[in-house]
Amino acid sequence: MANVDKKTLEEQIKIQGEIVRKLKAEKADKDKVTEEVNKLLELKKQHGDNGPKKFVLKTPKGTRDFTPEQMAIREGVFDKIISCFKRHGAETIDTPVFELKETLTGKYGEDSKLIYDLADQGGELLSLRYDLTVPFARYLAMNKVSNIKRYHIAKVYRRDNPAMNRGRFREFYQCDFDIAGQYDPMLPDAECIKIVVEILSSLDIGDFVIKVNHRKLLDGMFAVCGVPDDKFRAICSTVDKLDKTFWDDVRDEMINEKGLDSEAADMIGEYVQFKGGLDLVNELLKDKNLTTKKNAVEALEEIKLLLTYCEAYNVSDKVCFDMSLARGLDYYTGVIYEAVLTAHSHQASASGEENVGVGSVAGGGRYDGLVGMFDSKGKKVPCVGVSIGIERLFSIMEAKALAAAKKVRTTETEVYVIAAQKGMVEERLKLCNALWDADVKTEQSYKKNTKMLSEFQYCEQNGIPLAAIIGQSEIETGVVKLKIIGSREERDVPRSDIVQEIRNMLASLKIGKESTSGN
Amino acid sequence: MANVDKKTLEEQIKIQGEIVRKLKAEKADKDKVTEEVNKLLELKKQHGDNGPKKFVLKTPKGTRDFTPEQMAIREGVFDKIISCFKRHGAETIDTPVFELKETLTGKYGEDSKLIYDLADQGGELLSLRYDLTVPFARYLAMNKVSNIKRYHIAKVYRRDNPAMNRGRFREFYQCDFDIAGQYDPMLPDAECIKIVVEILSSLDIGDFVIKVNHRKLLDGMFAVCGVPDDKFRAICSTVDKLDKTFWDDVRDEMINEKGLDSEAADMIGEYVQFKGGLDLVNELLKDKNLTTKKNAVEALEEIKLLLTYCEAYNVSDKVCFDMSLARGLDYYTGVIYEAVLTAHSHQASASGEENVGVGSVAGGGRYDGLVGMFDSKGKKVPCVGVSIGIERLFSIMEAKALAAAKKVRTTETEVYVIAAQKGMVEERLKLCNALWDADVKTEQSYKKNTKMLSEFQYCEQNGIPLAAIIGQSEIETGVVKLKIIGSREERDVPRSDIVQEIRNMLASLKIGKESTSGN
C-alpha cells in the first residue's frame, strides 16, 4: 500500500516540477509561479513524511568517523601518553559529556558563543563540555577534593569554524594532566614540564621547545610600560598573537584597536623580545623598572626556581623562558608554558590550531582561582596542569604512517586457522577454541569451505604471522601443521605442544624482526 | 561598585520577602499578594542577572562523575573485555557522539522520544547517539564497508527516567562487538556466543546462561497460533516481557490490550514454555504445525547448526534454546540471544534495566536489514553482534569491591622517593628523574621538606610497595636506601644498581603476593 501511494506521489512531484519549470521558463506571472512552487513543496513534504527516507549519508559538520587504521594509530599514541601519566602516579576521573549550562557560563569569555547547547526538551538546560578544565574544577568543588593528581582524556565540543584538512574539528580529544593542591612553589609546575618532555620525546615527532612565562610578570611588565589596569587582559590577548604574526601587526592592534599609546607599545615591544634561561632571569631581577613591581619580582623568583628544578629534571635544554608567551585563556594566574615543534614550524603555521597556538603541541599553566568560582565560600584550590594537543599529534603520526607507506596493522591476530580439506568446520572451531582458551589471538574464515591459497594471501595482507593447518592426515596423526607466513617454513607439531610451540615461534619472530629493523 | 549594588538588591529582596510573607500570613487580598510576589520575582531576576552567580553544584540529571576508584574498576573490566575482542581479531572504530537527527529517525520505534536533541543554533539538526548499532550501520553504508569485525566502546544517551541507584543512567557505556559480512550460516553467530562466554567467565561474576531463540521461529510460531500478520511485532513485545512478569499478565495483555483471541494466546503459552537443547530442536522439527511454516523450519535448522557449533566451542553447558526469548528491538532478523546471571537473579529483578532485560548482562542477535536502510540502493550487509551490558558489570564489580572492603588502588606507583633531611629537594628530583627515565613508576611529595614517618604512612595508605630514601650519608657513599614498605626490610643499594634492584624487589613482592593469596 505505502509503495503504491509513494509511486503516485513521486509521479505527481515530477509533473508538478515540470509545471513549475515551464512557468519559470515562460517568465509567467510571479504569483502564479509562487502558487505552483508551493504546491510542489507541499507534495515534497508529503513525500518526505510518507515515503521511505532518503538519508544524507554524512557525519555532522566538523566531525568524522575513525577508521580501524586511525584507531590503531590513536591507540598507540594514547598508550604512550597514559603510561607517562601512570609513571607519575596520576589517577584518572571521568565527567559527563554535558554539564548544566550555567556551569560553563562565564568561563570562556568571547568563546562562549562556540558552546553547543542541548535542546530544551523539558528539565535542565544543558551544554556539551567545551574543555576538560572547567568540568575538573566543578568536580573538585562539588566533591570537596582539595588535592589530586589526575589525567582525563575525553572529547570536547566547539561550534568553531571547522578546518578539517588542517586538523581543526568540532569534536576533538583533549588530554589533560593536572595537579591540584596547596603545595610548595614550582614543584608541581616543574613536573608538568617534565611530563611534556617525556611524552613528546616518546613520540618521535622531532625537536621541540617549551616556552615558559608567568602571568604576573606580564602584568608587571604591562604596568611598567604604562598599560592602564583595565587594558591588561586586552593587551595580553594581543601579545598572545605574537607567535602567529609579526610585531608590527601586534603593535598596530595595540595602538589602533586597543587604544594604547605608542610609547607603551614600543616599551612592550622591547620586553617581549627577551628569550633565555637563568641568566636572563637574573638580569631582569636587576631591571630598574620591573623591580618596582612586586608581582613582577615574585614571578621572576618563581621562574628562577622553576628553571632550577628543570635542571634537576635534566630538561633545561628543552625549556626557554620567553617573555612573548601570553596564552589565550583568562584563568591563568601564574606560570604558563607551551610546547612548540621546531621541525614542524612551517606545516604548523598553516594550521593555526587554537588553544595551543601555532605549531603548539602542548600548553598549560597555573590557575589558582578557577575552583573557587564553584565554591559557595570561594574556597580556593590551587591547580597547575597541561593539555596535550593530541589531535595535532595524531595528525603528525597519521602523516608519518602515510609517508612510510607501511600498512598499519589494525588487529593483533597471531594465528590463522585453516582447513586443508572441505567439511572440516567443526575441527577448525575446536582448534580455534583451544587457542582462544590459551589466550592465543586467533582468527579463521567465516566461510564453511575455503581455499588454502587465498587463506595464505589473507594472512600476508593482514600481517598475521602464523597459520595453523589441519587436514584429515593431521587429525589422524594428532598433529597440527604450523606455518610461518613470512618464511613459508612449516612444521608438524603434536596437538599437546601447539600452544607452547606457537609462543616460541612468535617470540623468535619478534626477536628476528627487532634485530633486522635495526633497533 | 557591583558589590554595593548587589548588597542593596539583596536587602531589597529580603525586605520584599518579608512583605510577601506578612501579606500571606494575614491572608490579604489575592491581587495584592500577587502584585507583591511579582515585585519580589522581579528583584530576584535582577539579582540573578547582575550579582555573582550562585552555582548549582551538580551533574545533569541521570549522569554522574566517576571517581578514581570507579575508574580503576572500569579499567579492569574494559581490559578484560578488550583483550577478548582482540583475541578474536576485532578492529575498533569510533563515530561522533552526535549524528544528524534524521540518521536516528525511524530506527527505535517508540523509544525515539528518549533521544537527546541538540539546540538549533543554525546549521544541521543533531541528536546524541542512542546506541552504537545505528551509527555502525550508517558507518558501513557511508564508507561502503561490506565486511568488518569491529568492537566499539563508547557512551550513549537516553532521556529515560533515571534510576541511578539501580544502575540506570541517561549517559552510559555501551560495549558492542559485531561481525558484518556475507558469510556461511551461524559461523559468526556462534563466535558472538563464544565471546560472551569468554567475557563473563573472565569476570568472576558467578554462573550464567545464554538464552537463544530466532526471530523467524517466533514469526512462524505466531502464524501457527493464528496471530494476524500485522500484530506480530506487538505480540512479540508482549512476549518479551515474559522474563520480567508472569504468563498470566502476558496473556492478559495479549488479549485485552493487543486484541488477540484467547485460543491464540493459549497456544503461544504452550510454545513459550519450551526450553532445551538439540533434542528440543529435533522434536520441534517434527511439530506438525510449525513445520507448515517455511521460516520456522529454516529457523530451527539454523538453531540446530548454531547449537552444533556451540558444542565444538565447548560452550553447550552455557547455552539454552528458549522459545520465550523475544528481545525488544525491531531490527533483529535472525538468531537472538541474551545472557542472564543465574546467581544474581534476585538482585537483578529489582533493577529492571532495559535493553538487556532483567538480570541480563549481554544480548544481541542478527540484523540483516539495518545497513540497507542507509544505502540508497538498499544494498544489504548482513550483521550479527552482541552488546555487553557493561554498566551492569561495573555495578557488580563495584559491589564486590565494596563487600571485600579492600581498598582499590587508583595509581600504579611502585616507588616513593623520600629525603632523610631537609633541603634535599633537588637531590630528590634527580632521583625521581633517573627512575622515570628508566620507566619506574615513581612519586614524591610536592612539599619541599617532609617528615619521614608521614611519608611512610602515605606509602602504606596508598599501597606503594617501595620507598627510595636519600640523605646526606647516602649521597656521600653513592647509595640509595631501598625499603620494602610491607616488611620494613631495608637495604643500601649503589646508585648504578638501583633500577635493577627495584625491578628484582617488585618481582619478588609480586610472586610473594600471588603465592600467599592462594591463586
Residues A83 and A210 both lie in one domain: yes
Q: Which three cell numbers stand for residue B62?
A: 541521570
Of A53, A65, A183, the CB nearest to B93: A65
Work out the percent of chain B whose per-residue pLDDT is above 90.
70
B13 confidence band (pLDDT: 50, 70, 90): confident
Q: Within this chain, do residues B237 and B205 fall inside the same structural domain, yes or no?
A: yes
Q: Are residues B214 and B308 located together in one domain of the fold?
A: yes
Chain A residue numbers touching B68 (CB-CB < 8 A): 91-93, 148, 150
CB contact (8 A) between residue A100 and residue B143: no
- By residue count, chain B amounts to 519
Q: What is the pLDDT of residues B66-90, one digit of tens each?
A: 999 999 999 999 999 999 999 999 9
Quote the pLDDT of residue A272.
94
Q: Do A65 and B374 touch (CB under 8 A)?
A: no
Within-domain flag for B59: no
* Residues making up chain A, counted from first to last: 519
Domain check: are A363 and A231 in the same one?
yes
Answer yes or no: do A128 and A235 share one domain.
yes
A96 with B65: Cβ contact below 8 A: yes
Per-residue pLDDT tens over the stretch B104-155: 988 887 788 899 999 999 889 999 999 999 999 999 999 999 999 999 999 9
Residue of A328, A351, A325 lying closest to A338 (CA atoms): A325
Q: How far apart are CA A145 and CA B408, in angstroms?
A: 18
Instruction: Note whether B35 and B120 are same-domain residues.
Output: no
Same domain, B156 and B87: yes
Which of B58, B313, B432 lies closest to A100 in CB terms?
B58
Read off the CATH number of the domain in which A9 is found: 1.10.287
Q: Which of B376, B402, B428 is the last residue of a domain?
A: B402
Same domain, B332 and B308: yes
Interchain pair A67, B148: CB under 8 A:
no
User: Of A373, A402, A431, which one is at a domain's C-terminal end?
Assistant: A402
Is A507 a domain residue? yes
Number of inter-chain CB pairs under 8 A, A vs B: 258
Nearest 10 degrees: Cα torsion A111, A113, A117, A120:
150
A377 assigned to some structural domain: yes
Same domain for A234 and A291, yes or no, is: yes
For B161-201, how does the pLDDT look when each residue is reduced to its tens digit (9 = 90+)? 888 777 789 999 999 999 999 999 999 999 999 999 999 99
- Chain B residues in contact with A97 by the CB 8 A cut-off are 97, 155, 157, 171
Residues of B in contact with A71 (CB under 8 A): 91-94
Pick from B414, B499, B418: nearest CA to B464: B414
Question: Which residues in chain B touch residue A374, judged by CB atoms under 8 angstroms apart?
Answer: 55, 57
**Strand pairing category for B275-276 and B319-322:** antiparallel
CA distances from B270 to A367, B223, B367 (A): 69, 14, 27
Burial B147-169 (b: 16+ CB within 10 A, else e): ebbbbbbbbbbbbeebeeeebbb
The pLDDT of residue B517 is 43
Rounded CA-CA distance B123/A485 in Å is 52
Residue A387 inside a domain? The answer is yes
- Chain A residues with beta carbon closer than 8 angstroms to that of B309: 425-426, 429
Instruction: Return the DSSP state at A100.
Output: E
> Would you state the pLDDT for residue A46?
66
Instruction: Give chain B positions within 8 Å (CB) of A190.
Output: 429
pLDDT for residue B210: 98
- Confidence grade of residue A406 (pLDDT, cut at 50, 70, 90): confident
* DSSP H or E run through B68: helix B68-87
**Per the structure, how many domains does chain A have?**
3
Q: Residue with C-alpha cell 534510576?
A: B163
Give the nearest chain B residue to A428 (CA atoms): B312
When CB atoms are compared, the residue of A121, A126, A313 closest to B433 is: A313
Burial of B37-56, coded b for 16+ CB within 10 Å and e otherwise, reads beebeebeeebeeeeeeebe
Nearest by CB to B184, which of A61, A150, A446? A446
Task: Report ipTM for this prediction.
Answer: 0.83
Q: What is the CATH number of the domain that holds A462?
A: 3.40.50.800
- How near does any CA of chain A get to the CA of B55, in Å? 6
B411 with A89: Cβ contact below 8 A: yes
Asked if residue B164 and residue B18 are part of one domain, the reply reads: no
Over residues A25-70, the pLDDT tens digits come to 787 888 888 888 888 877 776 665 444 445 679 999 999 999 999 9
Chain A residue with the nearest C-alpha to that of B150: A68
For residue A251, give how far its alpha carbon lies from the nearest alpha carbon of chain B (Å). Answer: 33
* B376: closest CA of chain A, how far (Å): 7
With respect to residue B407, please indicate whether it lies within any of the assigned structural domains.
Answer: no
Chain A residue numbers touching B194 (CB-CB < 8 A) = 433, 436
B211 near B322, Cβ under 8 Å? yes
What was the pLDDT predicted at B54? Answer: 59
Q: What is the mean pLDDT of residues A79-84?
A: 97
Task: Answer yes or no: is A58 within a domain.
Answer: no
Q: For residue B175, is it within any domain?
A: yes
Domain extent at residue B208: 68-402
Q: Does any domain span residue A289?
A: yes
Contact B95 A141 (CB under 8 A): no
Of B71, B87, B105, the CB nearest to A92: B71
The shortest CB-CB distance from A56 to any of B100, B106, B157 is to B100
Q: Which residue of A has its CA nearest to B180?
A: A446
| DSSP secondary structure letter of residue B143 | T
Query: Looking at the DSSP assignment, which residues form a beta bridge with residue B384?
Result: B179, B366
Among A61, A87, A429, select the one facing B436 at the smallest CB separation.
A87
DSSP state of B450: -
**Cβ contact, residue pair B426, A138, below 8 Å:** no
Quote the percentage of chain A above a pLDDT of 70: 91
Asked if the Cβ–Cβ distance from A68 to B412 is below 8 Å, we say no
pLDDT at A334 over 60: yes
- Is the CB of A433 less than 8 angstroms away from the CB of B312? yes
Please state, in angstroms and rounded to a whole number, the distance separating the CA atoms of residues A356 and A340.
9
Cell of A407: 600498512
Per the structure block, which three cell numbers stand in for B193? 556466543
Same domain, B194 and B229: yes
Looking at the structure, do residues B389 and B453 belong to the same domain, yes or no?
no
Contacts of A312 in chain B (CB under 8 A): 425-426, 429-430, 433
Q: What is the CATH number of the domain that holds A366?
A: 3.30.930.10
Give the residue from A140, A124, A121 showing the smallest Cα distance to A132: A140
